[in-house]
Every structure is written in C-alpha cells, then in structure tokens.
Amino acid sequence: MSPELIVGIVLGAATTLYLLFGGADFGAGIWEINTAFQSNEKERKLLYHAIGPVWEANHIWLIFVLVVLFAAFPLAFQALCSAFIIPAFLVLVGIVFRGAGYVFRAYSIDSGRQQQFWRTLFAGASAAAPFFLGAIAGTLASGDSKINAAGVYEGNYLTDWITPMALFTAFFTVGLCCYLAAVFLTREAEHSGEVELTLVWRQRALATGIWMGVLAAVGLVFVSLEAPELAHGFATRAWPLVALSAICGTGSLLLLLWRKYTPAAACTMLAAANIIWGWGIAQYPVIAPPFLTLADSKAPDSVLWAMIGAVAAGAVILGPSLALLFYLFKLTPSDSADY
Amino acid sequence: MHGARHLTVGHLMMLLADSANLLPARLQMAFTLGFHIIFACIGMGLPILIVLAEWLSLRNGDPVWRTLAKRWSKGFAVLFAVGAVSGTVLSFELGLLWPEFMGKFGPVVGLPFTLEGFAFFTEGIFVGIYLYGWNRLAPFHHWLCGLPIALAGTMSAWFVVTTNSFMNCPQGFQLDADGKLLDVQPWTAMLNPATGAQTTHMIVAAYMVTGFLVASFYAWEILRGRNGLYQRRALTLGVLLGGFFALVQGPVGHWAGHVVAVTQPIKLAAMEGQWETETYAPLRIGGIPDPETKTTPYAIEIPGMLSVLAYDNPAAEVQGLNAFPEDLHPPTPIVHVAFQIMVGIGTLLIFIGLWSGYLLKWGKSAWHERRWWLLTLLASGPLTVLAMEAGWTVTEVGRQPWIVQGFLRTKDAVTQAPGVWFIFAVTMSIYLVLTVGCISVLRILAKQPMPEDADVA
C-alpha cells in the first residue's frame, strides 16, 4: 500500500470520528437553542453532563485532521486554505465560541444573565461551526472549488464558496449533528434512569431522523444534478456504502421505535460514518476535487513514513486513554453531577 | 531616541510597501500567539501545582490541600479551554495567513505537529477524566490521572517549540532549483541545533509564569485581608514553583544565548545592539540602538562580557550587524529593548525567588507584616508574563526578514487573499470577548464559598 493511501485512510478515520463525536457535541449545543425556550433545568443538566467530560477530546480530532492534512498533503492544504479562507474563518469563530461558551457557562455558577449570555453564545456557535464545515464539504464535493490540477486556486475568495450544493450540505451537516446528538442523548437519558427525558429525546430523535431521511434522499438527487463526477463515483464504486448508510439510517429509526437505544446509537454512527467513507471512495484518488489527487499533493515519502510511524506509536497511548474516558463517562451509569 | 522612532515608522512603511497583507497578518499572528502563549504556559504549570496539592492531601488527609486542588482544577478547566480554542485558531491561521510557508515547509515540520497532536489529545482526554472524575475514581487513581495532564502539556510545548527552532535553524531538507523540497528528513529537522536550548528555555519560562501568577493572585488576596491557611499554602506552592525555575532559567538562558550566537549571529547582534564586529565585545545594559548612526547610545557597557556570555571567552570575536547586508537586519531597536526587558525581569525574578525562599524558611514575621514582599509578589506575575512575551518578541522579530531563516522571507509567505485587515479586526474583537469572559468567570469561581471543612480563618 502506498504511504499516501495509508495517511489518506488515517485522515478519513479521524474525520469520521470528528463527525461522530465532535458532531454530536455540536448537535447537543444546537438542541440547547431549542431547550432554551423551555428552560427545563433537568434537561439541560443531562445535555451538559453528556458533553462535559468528552468535548475537549472530541474537538481534538479536528486539530488532528488539520495537522495531518498540512503535513502529509501540503499542496492540498494550501489550496483549500486559499479557496475557503472565509468559511474556514467562520468555522473557526464557531469553534472558539462553542468551546469558550461551554466552559464559561459551566463555571459561571449562579450568575443569572451572564450565564444566560454564554449559553446563548454556546448554542449559536454550535450551529455555526458544522454549518460552515458542511458548506466547505459541499463546495468540494460538487467539484466547484476552482482549484486547478496544480493546486492553485483560481476563483473569487468572497463568493465562490457559496454554491447550491454548499447550502444543502451545510443544512444537512447541521441536521446530522442534531440527529446524532438526539440519539446519543436518548441513550444517556435512559442510562441515568430518566424515564421522562428518555421519551422526550426519543421523540426528538425520531422527528429529526425522519427529516434526515428525507434530506438524504433529496441529497442523492442533488448530487446527481450538481455533482456529476461524485454521482458517477457513487454509482460505480461507492454504492455499497451508500446503501449501507441508508439501511443503517432506517435501522436506527426502527430501533428507536422499539426502544433499543444502544443499537440505535450504533446504527446512527454507521449511517453517518458511511457518508464520509462513501464520499471518500467515490472521489478517490482525488483529495481536493475536481483534479488534485493524493499523489499530486503529497509530501515526500520519507515524511509520510515518519508520520505513519508517529501515528502508530501515538495510537498506542491514545487508544487506551480514549477507551478509559469513554468507559468512565459513557458506559458506566451515573446519577449525580460530578463537578 | 528620535532615530529609533524614525526607523519604526520607516519600517512600517516598508512593510506596507512590500505587501498590503504583511502587516495585518504579522500583527494578527503576534497578537494571537501572544495571547495563546499565556494560557499555554498556565496549561503546563498549573497541573503540576494541582497534582502536588492533591498528593499532599492524599498523604496527610488534609482537607485544605484537597480544597485547593479542587478549586484550582475548576480554574484550570476554564483556562485550558481558552488555551485549547486559541490554539485551534493558530492551527487554522498558519494555513490561512501563511499558505506559502505551510505549502512549502509543512512537510518538514509536520512530524512535530503530528506528535503534538497526540500529546494534546492525551492532555484533553485526561483533563476530562480528572475534572469530572472526582467522584468516579478512587482518590489515588484520580491523582494518577492528573499526571498525564502535566506530562502531556509539557510534551506538547516541546513539540511545538521544535517547529519554531526549525524556523530559526532550518535543516533536514534539500531544495532543488525550482525551490521544491527534496530529501526531507523530518527527525533531523525536528532535532536541530536550536531545539534543546529553545524548548528548555520555553518550558522553564512556562513554569515560572504559572508559579509567579499564582503567587501574585494570592498575594493580592492576602493583602486584602484574606489571610487564611488556604491562601498562604496556595501562595507558597506558587512561589516555590516560580522561584525554583527562575533559578534554573539563569543557566538555561545562558545556554539559549550561546546557541543564538552560533546559529543566528545576526539575531545576537541585534539583541545586544552590537554594530561592529569585535573581540572583547562589551555587554550592554540598556541603551537604544540607532540604525541611522549605527551605534547603541545610552548603554552601560561591561567590556568583554558579551564575548564571555556568547562564547565563554573574553577574547572571542562577536559579529556585529555591520557584517551583514542591511536588508537582512531585523528591526534592531525592538529586538534589543525586548531582550533588555526579558533579561532585566529574569534577573529580578531570581532575587524574588531567593528572598521568598529565605522568608518562607527562616522568616519570623507574620504573613500580614510582610507587606513589601507581598507587594513584590503581586507585581511578579504580570512581570513574568511581560518577560516571556518580550522573549518571544526577541526570537520572532529577531529572525526578520525571514520566516524560515535563510530560506523563505516573511513577505513571500503571506496570503494573497483580500480582507486580512478585516479578519484581523474580527479576531481582535473575538479575543476581547474571550478575555472579558475568562476574567469574569474566574472571578465568579474565586468568589465561590469555601467548603465547611476547609479552615480558611
């Protein structure tokens, strides 16, 4: 296997984990907009309790993706940075205020309006970050990024990233984050023995899930109209993954109906993960569509092999640490606030 | 004095003429790095204090130590999060503001960044476990989970600073005729001659910043009459950390200076305001270099001392700025003055450390009678931060006009995208919100009542 393919797979895996876990944290923040109107303290507690211990770790997948991208595929990174300077900056603003808003809210205990302000900021920023990340993904997927085969950006910085496909994927990503969060929160509510809350979240998850199913179907039509290259990749190579994603998505809805929340969460994760892998395989070996490939934009092989070594060594520490974190906070039932 | 100001204006004009984006991009980078580095320092040092306090509480079951560890860990959660998001800004900014730099040298510095990613990851994971695990883990296991935070924080600093040392002392690659990278050896690039001294200098500085900031905060509390066991112990831990590493920083700083002399003679010349190449070069204390007359007036000169400091030999020849073409000179007044500030404060901190050690060990007076000492400590925190920022000014401004010494000029690395001033303005307002939020939340945390069992009288 060529080193650029190995690093490409690592990138894909990290992106997937960011979508699943970081995305769910964003989703929880977006739900906060909703719960703000209802001001149910118990509900809010579940939500913050769910993301509190893990959001820092989940957030780091994005940094990992960025670092690996610029180290292993510098040309692609340079081109993407030039093409998406505006949406990337907006993502950044969202990420900064989501993280800061979260801790400021969590620790500005009993301060009334101030806490309310941070909560609002947290919720708004949680929606902004996946929205603009989704927009970047959409413009890339549609092949309209205006990055040429030499990795030079030839478009208008200000407006060219706003395409119909970008708008669609932006909303789709936000919806996906909401769905992931709703399913995870249903499971966590059941885990902490909150019968009433479990039903509330189950209902939210079902409603969001049905909408996401409709959006996904529309999305496939959208791809075939707006992104013919990607549609071709889907039809010829990536169709098993697209099919698997559809099956898992439907399965997650049924499992929610049957109140099997842990399998439902697993199915939701598979459905979301297969979108990333379906996209990746459909456009392989291109990294920055329409032209720039992994091989064209890669760093020298000596660098790639050193990175693969570093990733392998790092995984030995990271794997058990992550396992401990998730074992402690996601697999062991809890009853009270820990902080 | 007039000459110096004239140069600064002239220099700004030059920057503007070079590229419209260069000035806002550099200002933004300087500002965001300068902001992040304070939080990064606390992120390295505070876990050590927390782990120490928790260990003391485990050893003798003293609830005050436990309260200290618990309350510090909440403050740490806020500071760590601000450090994490401001660090994320930097990782985006490298690409957004300096695409040529990342496109060209990204592969060479990718290895330390990847390793840093893992260190930061480990830190983030154990921060989650530590903060939320007080009731979920056995006390000893909880304490153990604090150790990786302290270790990983220091490791990430080490990896990130190797990237900066590479920019100062690039090696481990070849460029072909078109300027494309050939034969990259990432480990050689990471372990360059500047790495050891620069990383050590920074890590020691981070511990000093944390220690003196903690001492500073509790000195303020005690001065305001909150003279409890809790505050006194907190101050003691802080001043011990800061004071000890202030002593360590003496020889480490000397080492760092020697490495600069060998690897970046022009930076050393700018730091010292040394224009002529000479043997028995003097050490200048104070003074303002004047690029017009190529002299450094108003300085106290100690003959031969610079030669000794740089090469351990008074007869050693030190290269002056005049030995280099003028377009390679960094803005000398800024570099020299920043260097004076760093060294001046560093020396002061050594004395503060010794004084504190003496008072804590042999002092007979009651704490509230040590007013001058407390006032000095109150100033020590902000001063340490100032010294650290001045140090980064020396290393960054002293490398100009290069972004990668000898290979890539800063003006050639900057983005061509429009609107960099606008992005700078937005960034400034975001950081203003972050600063205000962070301070107000820390104030709320500090005002939380002490638990019953912690004797605060």
Tell me, what's the ipTM?
0.84
Q: Does A311 touch chain B (CB under 8 A)?
A: yes
Q: Of B182, B248, B183, B241, which Cα lies nearest the Cα of B213?
A: B241
Structural domain contains residue A132: yes
CA distance B179 to B297: 42
With contacts defined as CB-CB under 8 Å, which chain B residues touch A307?
110-111, 114, 186
3-class secondary-structure state, position A87: helix
Query: Which residue of chain A is at minimal alpha-carbon distance from B109?
Result: A71
Query: B9 exposed, middle or buried (CB, 10 Å; 0-12, 13-18, 19+)?
Result: exposed
Q: Best residue in B82, B88, B89 to probe A by mutation, most A CBs within 10 Å? A: B88
Query: Which residue of chain A is at minimal alpha-carbon distance from B77?
Result: A103
Residues 376-435 of B with CB under 8 A from A: 415-419, 423, 426, 430, 433-434
CA B226 to chain centre: 31
CB contact under 8 A, A53 and B441: no
CB contact under 8 A, A70 and B444: no
Q: What's the number of domains chain A is made of?
A: 1
Q: Name the minimum distance, in Å, from the CA of A308 to any CA of chain B.
A: 10
Out of B134, B136, B184, closest to residue A300 by CB: B184
Q: What would you report as the CA-atom Rg of chain A, rounded to the nearest whole angstrom?
A: 20
Query: B34 exposed, middle or buried (CB, 10 Å; 0-12, 13-18, 19+)?
Result: middle
Q: Name the minimum distance, in Å, from the CA of B161 to any CA of chain A.
A: 15
Report how far apart, in Å, the C-alpha atoms of B48 and of each of B54, B127, B199 are. Answer: 10, 13, 18
Structural domain contains residue A12: yes
Residues 156-195 of A with CB under 8 A from B: 157-158
Report how far apart, in Å, the C-alpha atoms of A61 and of each of A55, A66, B120, B145, B423 are. Answer: 10, 9, 10, 21, 25
**DSSP single-letter state for residue A153:** B
Structural domain contains residue A93: yes
Q: Does A302 touch chain B (CB under 8 A)?
A: yes
Q: Which residue has the tokens 């107000």?
A: B440
Contacts of B338 (CB under 8 A, 6+ apart): B390, B391, B393, B394, B397
Q: Name the minimum distance, in Å, from the CA of A152 to any CA of chain B.
A: 11
Q: Residues of A166-196 as b/e, b for ≥16 C-beta within 10 angstroms? A: bebbbbbbbbbbbbbbbbbbbbbbbbbebee
Structural domain contains residue A338: no
Query: Which residue of chain A is at minimal alpha-carbon distance from B418?
Result: A157
Q: Which residue has the tokens 């009433």?
A: A196
Q: Name the minimum distance, in Å, from the CA of B79 to any CA of chain A.
A: 9
Q: Name the minimum distance, in Å, from the CA of A284 to any CA of chain B.
A: 22
Q: Of B65, B63, B48, B73, which Cα lies nearest the Cα of B130?
A: B73
Q: Does A210 touch chain B (CB under 8 A)?
A: no
Q: Best residue in B86, B97, B115, B118 to probe A by mutation, most A CBs within 10 Å? A: B118
CB contact under 8 A, A338 and B77: no
CA distance A107 to A50: 16
CB contact under 8 A, B85 and A157: no
Strand residues in A163-322 grouped as ranges (E): 286-288, 292-293
CA distance B399 to B202: 17
Structural domain contains residue A339: no
* Regions in chain B scoring below 70 on pLDDT: 1-19, 452-457
With contacts defined as CB-CB under 8 Å, which chain A residues touch B418?
157-158
Question: Which residue range forms the structural domain that includes residue A136?
Answer: 3-331
CB contact under 8 A, A57 and B125: yes
CA distance B390 to A122: 34
In this structure, the number of other CB atoms found within 10 A of the CB of residue B315 comes to: 10
In this structure, the number of other CB atoms found within 10 A of the CB of residue A100 comes to: 26
Q: Are A205 and A121 in contact (CB under 8 A)?
A: no
Q: Of A31, A76, A69, A73, which Cα lies nearest the Cα of A51?
A: A31
Query: Which residue of chain A is at minimal alpha-carbon distance from B137?
Result: A328
CA distance B123 to B116: 10
Q: Does B8 touch chain A (CB under 8 A)?
A: no
CA distance A274 to B365: 70
Q: Does A221 touch chain B (CB under 8 A)?
A: no
With contacts defined as CB-CB under 8 Å, which chain B residues touch A109?
444-445, 448
With contacts defined as CB-CB under 8 Å, which chain A residues touch B430?
93, 96-97
Q: Best residue in B72, B408, B415, B441 to probe A by mutation, most A CBs within 10 Å? A: B441
CB contact under 8 A, A303 and B121: no
Q: What does the block give as tokens for B401?
A: 């006009």
Helix axes A301-326, A3-17, angle to 10 degrees: 30
Which pLDDT score is estimated for A214? 92
Q: Does B107 touch chain A (CB under 8 A)?
A: yes
* Pairs of CB atoms within 8 A across A/B: 232
Q: Does B440 touch chain A (CB under 8 A)?
A: yes
Which pLDDT score is estimated for B296? 79
Out of B77, B126, B419, closest to residue A107 by CB: B77
pTM (predicted TM-score) = 0.86
Query: Which residue of chain A is at minimal alpha-carbon distance from B71?
Result: A339
Contacts of A52 (CB under 8 A, 6+ apart): A106, A339, B128, B131, B132
Q: Summarize pLDDT for B210-227 with one digit per residue, the tens.
A: 999 999 999 998 888 888
Q: What is the pLDDT along chain A (339 residues), one digit of tens a residue?
A: 888 889 889 999 999 999 988 898 899 888 888 766 665 777 777 777 777 788 888 888 888 888 888 888 888 888 888 888 888 889 988 998 988 888 888 888 777 788 888 888 888 999 999 999 999 988 888 877 777 777 777 777 777 778 888 899 999 999 999 999 999 989 888 888 888 888 888 988 999 999 999 998 888 888 888 888 888 888 888 888 888 888 988 899 898 889 888 898 898 989 888 888 888 888 888 777 777 777 788 878 888 888 888 888 888 888 888 888 888 887 776 654 444
Which pLDDT score is estimated for B19? 63
Kindly report the three-state secondary structure assignment for every residue of chain B: CHHHHHHHHHHHHHHHHHCCCHHHHHHHHHHHHHHHHHHHHHHHHHHHHHHHHHHHHHHHCCHHHHHHHHHHHHHHHHHHHHHHHHHHHHHHHHHHHCHHHHHHHHHHHHHHHHHHHHHHHHHHHHHHHHHHCCCCCCHHHHHHHHHHHHHHHHHHHHHHHHHHHHHHCCCCCEECCCCCEECCCHHHHHCCCCHHHHHHHHHHHHHHHHHHHHHHHHHHHHHCCCCCHHHHHHHHHHHHHHHHHHHHHHHHHHHHHHHHHHHCHHHHHHHHCCCCCEECCCEEEECCCECCCCECCCEEEECCHHHHHHHCCCCCEECCHHHCCHHHCCCHHHHHHHHHHHHHHHHHHHHHHHHHHHHHHHCCCCHHHCHHHHHHHHHHHHHHHHHHHHHHHHHHHCCCCEEECCCEEHHHHCCCCCCHHHHHHHHHHHHHHHHHHHHHHHHHHHHCCCCCCCCCC
With contacts defined as CB-CB under 8 Å, which chain A residues touch B124?
56-57, 59-60
Q: Are A121 and A32 in contact (CB under 8 A)?
A: no
Q: Of A154, A139, A146, which Cα lies nearest the Cα of A230?
A: A139
Which pLDDT score is estimated for A37? 61
Q: Best residue in A67, A98, A116 to probe B by mutation, most B CBs within 10 Å? A: A67
Out of B78, B104, B115, closest to residue A310 by CB: B115
With contacts defined as CB-CB under 8 Å, which chain B residues touch A306?
111, 186-187
CB contact under 8 A, B78 and A107: yes
Q: Does A300 touch chain B (CB under 8 A)?
A: yes
CB contact under 8 A, B416 and A299: no
Q: Of B385, B450, B439, B431, which Cα lies nearest the Cα of B78?
A: B439
